[in-house]
Structure formats: structure tokens, C-alpha cells
Amino acid sequence: SRVLAPMTMVEQSTSEVFHNTFVGIALANPNDYESKLKLRALTYDARERALKMDPGTVPSQGQKANLTSELVDLSSGGGFLMAEGTPPEAKGFFMVGNNDLNRLDGVGGFLRASSELYLPMIRQNETNSTYLFLFNPSLTPGQHARLRLYDGNGEFQAEKTVQFAGLGALGGTLDKIFEETIDLDEGYLEVTAQMPLRGFEFLGGTEAYHAMTAQPVYGTARLVSPHFFASRSGGSTLRLLNVGDREVTGTLTGYTDNGEVIGTAELDVGAHKLYRRSVTELLEIDTSKLGANENLIGYLTVEMTDGTHHLPKVIGTLTFQGNSGKWLSTLPLLSRGKNRTLF
């Protein structure tokens, strides 16, 4: 697999929330042998750019981290970095922060490839901006993808068809990509392509950044978040995007880490609509009973049906918010487990 990172968030952004930012990339080798890194700097149309330095090898159980400004000359324009390891596959992540270090988040792990992807966390207005990145892992040039933007009620907002070079990418804030003014407080993006794509979104606001990987759709009757929390100054927000043609009903259950039920709530998500609610409100958690620095923690399950024998097509995320919104982090709900992961 490849580790991907934008060189800069500034060049393709019309929003001030991504100005005065830096990007850092970290590459890890969790194996018992040395890994040779192949790092490439590419423009969005897949033209090679010169590197200022070569990270070389990563020792066994080691990691190398750099600012993108150390690896490539940003004054010559933007693009993205692509890292591969031989052997084994490259593993790593990137982070975006502002120079005051009070807004920071990143993307790590495996970006899943699909010809149908959804980004369920879209905002573009005076105080929020969404940066989109899509990558074509194929060498075949000239293939197209259609981007369709919807509000939370499933109402169509905008459409754009994009052509990708082989190993090319698309990056930028939504108004830059759609070449029109976008005013959207809550919505989602649908990507359908002639070839499998990988991608992520980066949501920037006046208080915090948070990122989310582009999600393919798998039919599932159950989604799980292995962690949630509630406190006086923060908590967890549930998003469910129903991309199917039928309404989905479900039951949210919150558990303590010891498996005791905290509470349940019934959910209804209309066809092609986005559901967004506070877990604290849904489970009727009284945070006034918590101490000033105390958190109620546990995990969540969502059991769902669309009233047929088919599995619902629902994507879920959970956004963690703390310090009265001064930090945010979003993770996907899981429909299946893993037998190995890397932090």
C-alpha cells in the first residue's frame, strides 16, 4: 500500500481556515527488518517534482517524520507525496496543523479503494471549509469520476466531473473544486468513478480541524464504535448516512467498558439522508452528575434494518469533541473487526 499526503493545504484552498498551516508526514516500519522507502513528489496531474531530501531507509521498529517543507520546495507549487516501502508495504500518517499549534488533526491507516465512495462530513460556509483529496491508484490515464454534493436532507447541491491522470489526484476546498460558491452547513459527498479511488476529507473550522477517510459502502445490519465519551465540556456526535433507497430504522445502545447498558435510543434515517445527533442527548446522559474533569466512557452499537431481507447501506462516523469544541476527532463506525492494527 501507499502512504499519501498533500504537500500543502494552502495552494488549493480559498478558505482562511487552511492558511498559515503546515503538513507533516510520518513513515513507520513495525517489522523486524529494515525497510527501504521510495518517496515521490507529484503534481495533481502526476508529473514528477524534485525532492529536497530522500528519507532513505526506516530501521526495524522505527519511524521517520518530516515536514513536507523539508522534503519539497513548496514555493514551486503544490501537489502530493506518495511513499512506498520495499519491503514491506509503507505504513504511516500525515498531520495538518496551524502555526499557532491550536488546531491539529491527521489521516492514517489504510485508505480503502472503491469506485463508489462517500464523505459524510461536509461543511462549506463562512466559518467552515472542507478540503477534499482523491487519488487514482491506477496507471491508466483519462478516467473520469463524478462528484455529487448533497445537503443533510439528501437535496442535490452541485455536481462536477473530473478526469484523473494515472497516479493522479484531486485536491482542494469544495468551492475550488466545484468552481462555484458553496454554502452548506451539513451535507455529504458522493463519488462514483470508472476506476477505484482512495481519498479523505479534512474539515477546518475556526476552533479545530478534523479529518475522515472516504468510505465505501458495504451492506450491514450492525455498526460498532469501540469508544465514546460524555463529559460536561464535550462528548460524541453520531453521524449515520443512509445511501440506500429505503428508510432505515435502528437501535443505538451505549455500554460501559464492562458491558453494562448505559441506555438505548431508537433511530430513523430516511433514504439518502444524513442523521446527526449527540450521543449524550440520545442516551439521555445527565452530565451534571459528572465531576468537572470526569468522563463517562464506553462503546456503542447500532442495530439496523430497512424492513427487507437486504442489508442496509449505511455509513457511520463518531466525532469526539472536547474542551468546548477546541479539539475534534472523527472515526468511522466499524462493520467488521481486524486481527491486526497499528497505532
Q: For residues 175 and 263, is the Cβ–Cβ distance under 8 A?
A: no
336: Cβ contacts below 8 Å, ≥ 6 apart: none
pLDDT at 204 over 80: yes
Q: Among residues of the chain, what percentage have pLDDT more than 90?
A: 74
Phi and psi at 203, nearest 5°, equal -100, 120
Residue 45 has a pLDDT of 95
Which pLDDT value is given to residue 13? 86
First and final CA of the chain: distance in angstroms?
A: 16
Helix (H) or strand (E) holding 87: none
**Whether residue 104 has pLDDT greater than 80:** yes
Distance, in Å, from the CA atom of 307 to the CA atom of 221, rounded to the nearest integer, reads 11
Q: Are 121 and 238 in contact (CB under 8 A)?
A: no
1 burial type by CB count under 10 A (0-12 exposed, 13-18 middle, 19+ buried) = middle
Per-residue CA distances from 301 to 120, 225, 262 (Å): 19, 6, 12
pLDDT digits (tens, 9 = 90+) for 243-267: 999 999 999 999 999 999 999 999 9
DSSP count for the chain of H helices, then E strands = 3, 24
* pLDDT of 88 over the 70 cut: no
Q: What is the pLDDT of residues 168-198, one digit of tens each?
A: 999 999 999 999 999 999 999 999 999 999 9
**What is the structure's pLDDT at 15?**
81
pLDDT, tens digit, for every residue of 18-44? 988 999 999 988 888 888 888 999 999
Residue 87's pLDDT is what? Answer: 64
| Per-residue model confidence (pLDDT) at position 342 | 65
Closest to 328 measured CA to CA, from 236, 257, 260, 252: 236
Residue 144: strand pairing partners: 163
Return the SS3 of 174: helix
Read off the pTM: 0.94
In angstroms, what CA-CA distances link 82 with 7, 67, 143, 186?
10, 14, 20, 31
Within 8 A by CB and 6+ apart from 155, the residues are none
- What pLDDT is attached to residue 29? 87
Question: Strand 114-124 and strand 222-230: pairing?
Answer: unpaired
Task: State the pLDDT at residue 288.
Answer: 93
Average pLDDT score over the chain? 92
Give the model's pLDDT for residue 164. Answer: 96
- Name the residue with cell 479503494: 113
Residue 325 pLDDT class (50, 70, 90 cuts): confident
pLDDT of residue 7: 96
Q: Determine the Cα–Cα distance for residues 208 and 189; give it in Å rounded to an integer.
A: 21
Q: Which residues contact 130 (CB under 8 A, 6 or more apart)?
A: 119, 121, 122, 123, 124, 173, 174, 201, 202, 203, 204
